[in-house]
A and B are shown apart, each in its own frame.
Chain A
Amino acid sequence: MKATVLVRPKPGILDPQGEAVQGSLKQLGFAVEGARVGRVVDLELANGDPQEARAELERMCEQLLANPLIESYEIEVRD
C-alpha cells in the first residue's frame, strides 16, 4: 500500500523559505501573492489494511514526520 504525507508550515508561522521563493518568482515576472514551502513524503507500507495503515501514518506524523508545534500534515492513502 502506498501513502503520501504532506507536511506544511502552520498558518501564521513565518516561512522564510516560502518568502524567498515568492521573491524569486516575482523576479521572474510571475504575479505571486504568497508562497509556502512544505515537504512531501511518499511511503510504501507493508500493512495492507487501509484503516490500520492510516492509524500507523498518524503515529508516524506525530512522532517524526511533522513537528506539531509548527507544522500540520495531511495523509493520503492509496491502494
Chain B
Amino acid sequence: MTETRPRIAVVTFPGSNDDRDAALALEALGAEPVPVWHAETELPAVRAVVLPGGFSYGDYLRAGALARFAPVMKAVQALAAEGGLVLGICNGFQVLCEAGLLPGVLRPNESLDFVCRDVQLTVERTDTPFTTRCIHGQSLTIPVKHGEGCFFADADLLAELEASNHVVLRYQGESPNGSLAGIAGIVNAEGNVLGVMPHPEHAVDPLTGSTDGALILGSLVDATRHPAGVVAAV
C-alpha cells in the first residue's frame, strides 16, 4: 500500500526567507508542500498551512503587524476557524499573534541582540497535532534565530495561558530572548493553531546537527494524513 502525501500549504510573504526550508523539510517528512503567495485570496485544498520565518514586509511597524493584513490571511483565518491546522514559525508566530489567532505578542529581545543558536526546549504538551511524536517532558534541541522573540502577555493573560496549558514548548534555563516564563511556543484553546519561535525546519537533517525539529513537523504531517480525532481541545 502506498501512502499518499498529504498536502500542506506554505505561505510566502514578501520578506519570508524560510519558506523553502519549510517546504524541503515537509517534503522530506512525507508531505507535499504547496507554495502559496501572500497575495492569493484562497488556499489550495489543504488541511494544514505553515507560516514560515523571515521578515515579512520588512518587520515594519511591528513584526507581523502588516503581514496579518495580507490577502491570504483571510483564508488562513477561515482554515483555522474550521479546524484546519496552522503552524507559525518565528515570523509566522509573530503574524499569528498580531492576527489574534494566538494570544500575546512577541517583542524585541530583552538583550536587543539578534540571537542565532541552538536552544534546549522542554515539550509540555503531546496531545496537540504538532507534538504527537514527542514524549511529555522530552528535551528538544532546535535552533532559534530572531531579534523579536520575547513573548509577552500581561499578568492575567499569562496566568490564564499557564492554567489552561497553552504552553507547548518552553526554553530550558535562561530564555534566549527574555520571554515571560520561558515561553517558546503556544497553542490556541482549540489546539489547532501553534506558534513557535524555534525553527523545526532547520533541524531535520543530521548534516546540519539536531533532527529534533522532525518530531514537530513529522507530527504535523501525521495529523494532516490522518485528520480524524487529532485536534485535542485544551
Residues of A within 8 A of B (CB): 13-14, 16-17, 20, 39, 64-65, 67, 69-70
Contacts and interface: CB of A to CB of B under 8 A. Distances in A.
Contacts of B111: 16
A67 B110 CA distance: 18
Interface of B: 61-62, 65, 69, 98, 104-105, 107-112, 152-154, 178
B4 to A, nearest CB: 41
Please give me the 6 A-B residue pairs with the lowest Cβ-Cβ distance, nearest first: A69-B105, A16-B112, A16-B110, A67-B105, A70-B105, A20-B112
Contacts of B178: 14, 16
Given A14-B110, A16-B110, A70 B152 contact: yes
A16 B107 CA distance: 10
Chain B, interface SS category: loop
B153 A67 contact: no
A65 B112 contact: no
Contacts of A16: 108-112, 178
Contacts of A13: 152
A22 B122 CA distance: 36
A7 to B, nearest CB: 9
Given A14-B178, A64-B61, A64-B65, A69 B104 contact: yes
A69 B110 CA distance: 17
B108 A69 contact: no
B110 to A, nearest CB: 5
Contacts of A67: 62, 65, 98, 105
Nearest to B154: A69
Contacts of A64: 61, 65, 69
Contact of A17 (B65, B108, B154): B108
15 contacts: A14-B110, A14-B178, A16-B109, A16-B110, A16-B112, A20-B112, A64-B61, A65-B61, A67-B65, A67-B105, A69-B104, A69-B105, A69-B153, A70-B107, A70-B152
A13 to B, nearest CB: 8
A39 B108 CA distance: 14
A17 B110 CA distance: 9
